[in-house]
């Protein structure tokens, strides 16, 4: 039971940290896409969506090549004495990359629902662009942002493919619930794997149910 508790704590902690990590850049990108209609927008949106449609192992391989000791980012990090690959940092990073598109897509929808005229009024009253964002845009788009954060958290909870390549499956170090289920199955310990799958399903249910509640209320507000 203690081992399961440790896996749950680590997995939830990774998902929460990954969500917090992508929140500032995700909101910035979502807001930019909601307000920008210039050339190349479709290309940017396509690139940001790629982690959702590519095999997760392909994303993990790219991260491994970038962050490995001989990769372009890995060499810089190694010069600073920072090790990422096959560490808990890699688990968080892989989860963040896979969850990022979900946050951006939902938050962008929330920002698009905000009437630009309200922001313009705030600007005419002396608010700076940043102040108008935090005082007007973000409070009005909070449901879309929250749904995006919950979806990102849910995705990070179940991340497997990218994580196993860039972080490995090291018990007590980089092993999450999904990786532990895979390991137990490989070892023929199906009963343990099923118990872990039940715990993972419970966590996913809570996260998705919270998302559905917020989405339903958001839809009622829009219709009103």
CA 109 to CA 37: how far, in whole Å? 14
| 223 part of a folded domain | no
| HEC readout, 120-164 | HHHHHCCCCHHHHHHHHHHHHCHHHHHHHHHHHHHHHHCCCHHHH
Instruction: Give yes or no for a contact between 92 and 17, defined as CB atoms under 8 angstroms apart.
Output: yes
Residue 224 lies in a domain: no
Query: What stretch of H or E contains 93?
Result: helix 88-112
Q: Which two tokens stand for residue 72?
A: 């372009």
C-alpha distance across the termini of the chain, in Å: 48
Residue with tokens 């993972």: 200
Residue 83 CA, distance from chain mean position: 22
Domain count, the chain: 1
Say which residue the tokens 């705030």 belong to.
Answer: 122
pLDDT reported for residue 87: 94
- Whether 222 maps to a domain, the answer reads no
- CATH of residue 96's domain is 1.10.3720.10
pLDDT digits 0-9 by tens, 135-180: 999 999 998 999 999 999 999 999 999 999 999 999 989 999 999 9
The neighbour count for residue 119, using CB atoms within 10 Å, is 19
* Angle at the Cα of 183 from the Cα atoms of 99 and 86, rounded to 5 degrees: 55
Rounded to the nearest integer, the mean pLDDT of the chain is: 90
Cα 214 from Cα 149, distance rounded (Å): 11
Q: What's this model's pTM, rounded to 2 decimal places?
A: 0.89
Mean pLDDT, range 122-134, rounded to an integer? 87
Burial class (CB in 10 A: 0-12, 13-18, 19+), 22: buried
Closest CA to 157 of 6, 43, 14: 14
Q: Domain containing 91: what range? A: 4-216
Average pLDDT over residues 88-117: 94
Domain presence at residue 221: no
Q: Give the length of the chain.
A: 224
More confident residue, 127 or 57: 57
pLDDT band at 120 (very low <50, low <70, confident <90, very high): confident
The answer to whether residue 68 sits within a structural domain is yes
Q: Please check whether residue 162 lies inside any domain of the structure.
A: yes
User: Is residue 74 assigned to a domain?
Assistant: yes
Q: Would residue 164 count as lying in a domain?
A: yes
């Amino acid at each position: 039971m203690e081992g399961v508790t440790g896996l749950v704590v680590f997995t939830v902690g990774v998902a929460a940290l990954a969500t917090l990590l992508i929140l500032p850049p995700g909101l910035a990108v979502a807001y930019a896409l909601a307000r920008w209609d210039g050339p190349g927008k479709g290309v940017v949106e396509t690139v940001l969506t790629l982690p959702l449609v590519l095999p997760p192992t392909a994303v993990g391989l790219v991260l491994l090549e970038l962050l490995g000791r001989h990769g372009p980012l890995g060499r810089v990090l190694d010069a600073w004495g920072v090790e990422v690959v096959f560490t808990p940092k890699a688990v968080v990073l892989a989860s963040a990359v896979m969850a990022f598109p979900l946050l951006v897509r939902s938050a962008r929808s929330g920002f698009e629902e905000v009437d630009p005229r309200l922001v313009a009024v705030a600007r005419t009253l002396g608010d700076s662009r940043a102040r108008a964002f935090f005082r007007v845009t973000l409070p009005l788009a909070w449901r879309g942002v929250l749904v995006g954060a919950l979806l990102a958290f849910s995705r990070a909870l179940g991340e497997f493919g990218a994580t196993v390549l860039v972080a490995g499956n090291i018990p007590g170090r980089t092993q999450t619930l999904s990786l532990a289920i895979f390991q137990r199955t490989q070892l023929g310990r199906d009963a343990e794997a099923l118990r872990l799958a039940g715990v993972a399903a419970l966590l996913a249910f809570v996260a998705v149910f919270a998302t559905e509640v917020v989405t339903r209320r958001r839809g009622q507000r829009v219709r009103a």
